Amino acid sequence: AQTVTQSQPEMSVQEAETVTLSCTYDTSENNYYLFWYKQPPSRQMILVIRQEAYKQQNATENRFSVNFQKAAKSFSLKISDSQLGDTAMYFCAFMKSGGTSYGKLTFGQGTILTVHP
Amino acid sequence: DAGVIQSPRHEVTEMGQEVTLRCKPISGHNSLFWYRQTMMRGLELLIYFNNNVPIDDSGMPEDRFSAKMPNASFSTLKIQPSEPRDSAVYFCASSLYWEPQHFGDGTRLSIL
């Protein structure tokens, strides 16, 4: 079974600054996907970024980028030029690739990020 | 394209009543997931379906909870009888194979 751990229950950052959210996972699988989801106070769950484990290049989406360290089983999210709208709960998630069942995500506990003006 | 549609958005009912939550996944998706979110327990996977077939219902808390997916475009989560500790936000999500899950806006359920 897979586990995902987010060791930072809460983080805060000043507007325009950079912040990094940590995530580690444990798996015996070699092929998998990793995701970061964002849940703002409106409670919608929004996909932020996706990383395929077979790709060495770190994924980037505008101000959001990841540091994927496969050997260390680490998957951190960096938010650059933080904006007030980035205030949200952030979830790290793992998805096994292949097999007879598909699509199941294993979520971490979440990190509440507050961006201060 | 329409996203995942959940109804109702809010539900308030009295203990002991039957509650039915509804979900319409994104057209073409072949997986559907039901989650429950509370402050105490975080985000929990209750059950998921692949091609309308339940794959894993180990997250369903009790026999009072049941879920069905009669066709590819509709699923229900039923609680009977409901209890105050069932109060939570319930999310439905859908996906296509190993693509990211898309979530509905959730149903906030309050059991008095």
DSSP string, A9-21: SEEEEETT--EEE
Contact A101, B56 (CB under 8 A): yes
Compute the distance between CA of residue B104 and CA of residue B23 in angstroms, rounded to an integer. 8
B31, B50, B100 ranked by CB distance to A47: nearest: B100
Q: Quote the distance between the C-alpha of residue B34 and its chain's center.
A: 3
Q: Quote the distance between the C-alpha of residue B43 and its chain's center.
A: 12
Check pLDDT > 80 for residue A61. Answer: yes
Mean pLDDT of A1-13: 94
Contact B52, B76 (CB under 8 A): no
Confidence at residue A100, expressed as pLDDT on a 0 to 100 scale: 76
Put simply, the chain B residues between 13 and 52 with a CB less than 8 A from any chain A CB are: 31, 33, 42-43, 45, 48, 50
A35, A43, A91 ranked by CB distance to B100: nearest: A35
Instruction: List Cβ neighbours of A62 (8 Å cut-off, separation of 6 or more).
Output: none
Segments of chain B scoring below 50 in pLDDT: none
Boundaries of domain holding A80: 3-116
Phi-psi region of A20 (alpha: psi -120 to 50; beta: other; left: phi over 0): beta
Confidence at residue B1, expressed as pLDDT on a 0 to 100 scale: 64
Phi, psi of B95 (to 5 degrees): -155, 170
**B9 and A CB contact within 8 Å:** no
A110 or A101: which leads in pLDDT: A110
**Model pLDDT for residues A23-49, shown as the tens digit of each residue:** 999 999 999 999 999 999 999 999 999
Contact B34, B23 (CB under 8 A): yes
Q: Quote the distance between the C-alpha of residue B2 and its chain's center.
A: 18
Check pLDDT > 80 for residue A97. Answer: yes
Chain pair A-B, CB pairs under 8 angstroms: 51
Amino acid type, A54: Y
Q: Are strands A111-116 and A88-96 parallel, antiparallel or unpaired?
A: antiparallel
Average pLDDT, whole number, for chain B? 95
Instruction: Give the whole-number percent of chain A exceeding pLDDT 70.
Output: 100
Task: Answer yes or no: do A104 and B45 touch at CB < 8 A.
Answer: yes
Check pLDDT > 90 for residue A20. Answer: yes
Confidence at residue A1, expressed as pLDDT on a 0 to 100 scale: 80
Number of domains in chain A: 1
Q: What is the CATH number of the domain that holds A10?
A: 2.60.40.10
Residue appearing with tokens 């091609």: B51
Confidence at residue A98, expressed as pLDDT on a 0 to 100 scale: 81
